[in-house]
Amino acid sequence: MDGTAIATWDDFPGRGAKLNDAGITLIAGGGGDKWPLHFYWSCLAMRELGHDGFEVAKNGDGFAGEGFVAASQKLIDLGAMQPFQ
């Protein structure tokens, strides 16, 4: 089993769980300083909303919109998988 069948975020939880159960570390990241891990949320939010969504949030609508909530939930789901080394 390998991770080559993971092409989208939707593929990740199921395949990732199988790899994790097999003892394979899914993500190696430098989270010791804590700040690099924010890039996971940023990437997910960009995929949900794109640049325009960030501009709307930055210009007054804030980060509580549906796309930001969806990105946050995906990050919560990722953390629950315990994918890091």
pTM equals 0.74
Is the pLDDT at 79 greater than 70, yes or no? yes
Is the pLDDT at 1 greater than 60, yes or no? no
Mean of pLDDT values over 45-68: 87
pLDDT at residue number 73:
93
d(CA 63, CA 1): 38
Share of the chain above pLDDT 90, in %: 13
- Check residue 76 and report its DSSP letter: H
**pLDDT band with cut points at 50, 70 and 90 for residue 72:** very high
Mean of pLDDT values over 6-34: 79
